[in-house]
Structure 1
Protein backbone atom coordinates (compact mmCIF):
# COMPACT_ATOMS: atom_id res chain seq x y z
CA UNK A 1 0.00 0.00 0.00
CA UNK A 2 1.29 3.45 -0.86
CA UNK A 3 1.76 5.80 2.11
CA UNK A 4 2.42 9.55 1.78
CA UNK A 5 3.55 11.43 4.88
CA UNK A 6 3.57 15.21 5.12
CA UNK A 7 6.05 16.64 7.62
CA UNK A 8 5.91 20.21 8.97
CA UNK A 9 8.68 22.50 7.68
CA UNK A 10 9.75 19.94 5.05
CA UNK A 11 9.41 20.88 1.37
CA UNK A 12 8.63 17.34 0.17
CA UNK A 13 6.42 14.55 1.37
CA UNK A 14 7.74 11.10 2.25
CA UNK A 15 6.39 8.36 -0.03
CA UNK A 16 6.82 4.66 0.66
CA UNK A 17 5.27 1.30 -0.18
CA UNK A 18 4.26 -0.80 2.82
CA UNK A 19 3.20 -4.44 3.15
CA UNK A 20 0.84 -3.55 6.02
CA UNK A 21 -2.91 -3.47 5.48
CA UNK A 22 -4.88 -0.22 5.67
CA UNK A 23 -6.19 -1.18 9.11
CA UNK A 24 -2.70 -1.87 10.47
CA UNK A 25 -1.35 1.39 9.06
CA UNK A 26 -4.26 3.33 10.53
CA UNK A 27 -3.59 1.76 13.93
CA UNK A 28 0.12 2.78 13.80
CA UNK A 29 -0.71 6.35 12.73
CA UNK A 30 -3.44 6.69 15.37
CA UNK A 31 -1.03 5.54 18.10
CA UNK A 32 1.45 8.25 17.04
CA UNK A 33 -1.20 10.98 16.86
CA UNK A 34 -2.82 10.17 20.21
CA UNK A 35 0.51 10.46 22.00
CA UNK A 36 0.94 6.83 23.01
CA UNK A 37 3.94 6.62 20.64
CA UNK A 38 6.41 9.54 20.26
CA UNK A 39 7.41 8.49 16.73
CA UNK A 40 5.60 7.31 13.64
CA UNK A 41 7.68 4.29 12.66
CA UNK A 42 7.05 2.53 9.34
CA UNK A 43 9.11 0.04 7.33
CA UNK A 44 8.80 -0.07 3.54
CA UNK A 45 8.89 -3.07 1.18
CA UNK A 46 12.68 -2.84 0.84
CA UNK A 47 13.29 -2.93 4.59
CA UNK A 48 14.06 0.77 5.02
CA UNK A 49 12.70 2.27 8.23
CA UNK A 50 11.13 5.73 8.34
CA UNK A 51 10.86 7.51 11.69
CA UNK A 52 8.93 10.79 11.98
CA UNK A 53 8.34 12.66 15.26
CA UNK A 54 4.59 12.51 15.92
CA UNK A 55 4.38 16.21 16.75
CA UNK A 56 5.76 17.10 13.27
CA UNK A 57 3.16 15.18 11.24
CA UNK A 58 1.06 17.29 8.88
CA UNK A 59 -0.87 14.48 7.20
CA UNK A 60 -0.72 10.80 6.35
CA UNK A 61 -2.32 9.65 3.09
CA UNK A 62 -3.05 5.93 2.81
CA UNK A 63 -3.41 5.09 -0.88
CA UNK A 64 -4.70 2.13 -2.80
CA UNK A 65 -2.80 -1.14 -2.69
CA UNK A 66 -0.13 -0.98 -5.37
CA UNK A 67 -0.59 -3.05 -8.49
CA UNK A 68 2.47 -3.90 -10.51
CA UNK A 69 2.20 -2.54 -14.04
CA UNK A 70 3.73 -4.46 -16.89
CA UNK A 71 4.22 -3.31 -20.45
CA UNK A 72 4.10 0.02 -22.22
CA UNK A 73 0.40 0.31 -23.00
CA UNK A 74 -1.58 3.17 -21.52
CA UNK A 75 -4.67 1.92 -19.72
Structure 2
Protein backbone atom coordinates (compact mmCIF):
# COMPACT_ATOMS: atom_id res chain seq x y z
CA UNK A 1 0.00 0.00 0.00
CA UNK A 2 1.08 3.52 -0.67
CA UNK A 3 0.74 5.74 2.41
CA UNK A 4 1.07 9.53 2.49
CA UNK A 5 1.20 11.19 5.90
CA UNK A 6 0.71 14.91 6.38
CA UNK A 7 2.41 16.28 9.49
CA UNK A 8 1.44 19.61 11.03
CA UNK A 9 4.07 22.35 10.72
CA UNK A 10 6.08 20.29 8.21
CA UNK A 11 6.42 21.56 4.62
CA UNK A 12 6.43 18.09 3.02
CA UNK A 13 4.41 14.93 3.49
CA UNK A 14 5.90 11.54 4.35
CA UNK A 15 5.56 8.89 1.63
CA UNK A 16 6.09 5.19 2.15
CA UNK A 17 5.24 1.86 0.57
CA UNK A 18 4.00 -0.68 3.10
CA UNK A 19 3.32 -4.40 2.98
CA UNK A 20 0.49 -3.87 5.48
CA UNK A 21 -3.10 -3.97 4.27
CA UNK A 22 -5.32 -0.88 4.26
CA UNK A 23 -7.26 -2.30 7.22
CA UNK A 24 -4.07 -2.83 9.25
CA UNK A 25 -2.92 0.71 8.53
CA UNK A 26 -6.32 2.13 9.40
CA UNK A 27 -6.42 0.26 12.71
CA UNK A 28 -2.87 1.47 13.53
CA UNK A 29 -4.02 5.06 12.91
CA UNK A 30 -7.12 4.62 15.08
CA UNK A 31 -5.06 3.04 17.86
CA UNK A 32 -2.52 5.89 17.73
CA UNK A 33 -5.24 8.51 17.97
CA UNK A 34 -7.10 6.82 20.84
CA UNK A 35 -4.33 4.82 22.52
CA UNK A 36 -1.94 5.57 25.33
CA UNK A 37 1.28 5.64 23.29
CA UNK A 38 0.28 8.59 21.11
CA UNK A 39 2.52 7.37 18.28
CA UNK A 40 1.60 6.18 14.81
CA UNK A 41 4.01 3.37 13.95
CA UNK A 42 4.11 2.00 10.39
CA UNK A 43 6.64 -0.26 8.70
CA UNK A 44 7.74 0.21 5.09
CA UNK A 45 8.59 -2.50 2.55
CA UNK A 46 12.27 -2.57 3.51
CA UNK A 47 11.50 -3.07 7.22
CA UNK A 48 12.15 0.48 8.42
CA UNK A 49 9.74 1.91 10.97
CA UNK A 50 8.17 5.32 10.63
CA UNK A 51 6.98 6.91 13.88
CA UNK A 52 4.82 10.03 13.92
CA UNK A 53 3.34 11.66 17.04
CA UNK A 54 -0.44 11.26 16.80
CA UNK A 55 -1.09 14.84 17.90
CA UNK A 56 0.91 16.09 14.87
CA UNK A 57 -1.04 14.13 12.23
CA UNK A 58 -2.75 16.37 9.70
CA UNK A 59 -3.97 13.60 7.35
CA UNK A 60 -3.18 10.07 6.20
CA UNK A 61 -3.84 9.03 2.60
CA UNK A 62 -3.98 5.27 1.99
CA UNK A 63 -4.03 4.01 -1.59
CA UNK A 64 -3.09 1.17 -3.86
CA UNK A 65 0.45 1.11 -5.17
CA UNK A 66 0.52 2.10 -8.84
CA UNK A 67 2.64 0.08 -11.21
CA UNK A 68 5.25 2.34 -12.74
CA UNK A 69 5.54 2.24 -16.49
CA UNK A 70 8.99 2.15 -18.00
CA UNK A 71 10.07 2.92 -21.52
CA UNK A 72 8.65 4.84 -24.44
CA UNK A 73 5.20 3.29 -24.02
CA UNK A 74 4.78 5.21 -20.76
CA UNK A 75 4.26 8.53 -22.54
- Per the normalisation by structure 2, the TM-score is 0.87
In structure 2, the gaps of 5 or more residues are none
Residue number in structure 2 paired with 1:71: 70
Higher helix share: 2
Query: Separation in 2 of the partners of 1:8 and 1:69?
Result: 30
Q: In the comparison of the two structures, how many residue pairs are matched?
A: 74
1:30 corresponds in structure 2 to 30
Superposed displacement of residue 18, structure 1: 0.3
Indicate the RMSD between aligned Cα atoms, in angstroms.
1.6
The list of structure 1 runs, each at least 4 consecutive aligned residues, that deviate by more than 6 angstroms after superposition, is none
Q: Which structure 1 residue ranges, 5 or more long, are not aligned? A: none
